Amino acid sequence: MKKFLIFCFFTLFISGCSLNVSDLNEGSQIVISEPALINEIAKSVEPAIVGINGIKNDTSSVGSGVCVTKNGYVLTNSHVVNDCDQIILYLSDKTTTMAEIVYEDTMLDFAILQSHKSLPYLALGDSDEIEVGQDVLAVGTPLSLTLIHTFTKGIVSATNRTLKVNSSSGEGYMQNLIQHDASLNPGNSGGPLINSKGEVIGINTLKISSGEGIGFAIPTKSFQSLLNSFVSEINYSIPYLGVYGLDNEIANFNGKSILTEGFYIIDIASNSPLKQIGIDKNSVITKINNKKISNTLDLRDELYKFKSNDIISIEFYKDGKFYNAKTKLV
């Protein structure tokens, strides 16, 4: 039976509406003392979680998001807000505020918004510490904004999952996803996956519609260093490598496996700075600044610690040999 992927957002027809906006001056981190009951965790984290209405022309996408910094940065999915003319956040105190996109990756299906108002925020948990079988909460806005802050409970079913998807950037792979069985429905997109500490360990993005309880979340390691760079530097300039690649596991499926670890380059742009040092298709990146690169997660985590015009050293494998070289990010 063919499996279909459902991105968890909901599109509806918009008519006239009025919004009641009031001041919300919260900028503190929500901290939960362990051990805590599920209902205590849910009550505590709710103020940091938002419903999202992304308006484009006469249609609107309904999704979810979570604030994770005192600066009002809200994480969500790209497909919830992509190309929207207006983005409205629905808050736990029944008020609303506006937001803008400050970063978007359509292939990863990830976006960072900045809220016009300061919000309470949750800490990011370490997705490397996730264990299969641990309890998780998924929070979102299923089907309609009237169902904002819906909580569902489940367990982590697996880690490091890879799915082949189609996005506005073309066909590709979403790699290193967290698989879980907490219930997801259209509108849950962009909502957080939360652990027993009340930390965000992932951003819910899609489910397999032909099965039951097969949902996926983007792990925090995919975007944590990127978010830190945005927070620490007002005019952060995102570094560019100009490569598309796969983990060893997927490379093996495609008959391209050479090493047991590393980032396998499948395609490289003509303006990639890596071309200047001899990296091309079928090369494998194994280290950046002496930091081991085992997979796509490692590459993202290390790359986004730098910015455009930084010089980095790269170890790569090509034609049976390892090479070390330096290149300037663009």
Catalytic positions, written as ranges? 79, 109, 189
Mapping DSSP to helix (H, G, I), strand (E, B) and coil, where does residue 248 land?
helix
Interatomic CA distance for residues 39 and 36, integer angstroms = 8
* Half-sphere exposure for 256 (CA within 13 Å, toward CB): 19
300 class by beta-carbon count within 10 Å (0-12 exposed, 13-18 middle, 19+ buried): buried
166 Cβ neighbours under 8 A, 6+ residues apart: none
CB 312 within 8 A of CB 330: no
232 Cβ neighbours under 8 A, 6+ residues apart: none
Amino acid at 129: E
What region, left, alpha or beta, does residue 252 occupy, with left being phi > 0 and alpha being psi -120 to 50 degrees? alpha
Q: Rounded to the nearest 5 degrees, what angle is found at the Cα of 189, between the Cα atoms of 185 and 194? A: 95
Q: What is the DSSP letter of 125?
A: P
Helix (H), strand (E) at residue 249: helix 248-253
Q: Rounded to the nearest 5 degrees, what angle is found at the Cα of 56, between the Cα atoms of 51 and 61? A: 35
CB 75 within 8 A of CB 65: yes
Distances (CA, A) of 59 to 54, 83, 84, 300, 309: 8, 12, 9, 33, 40
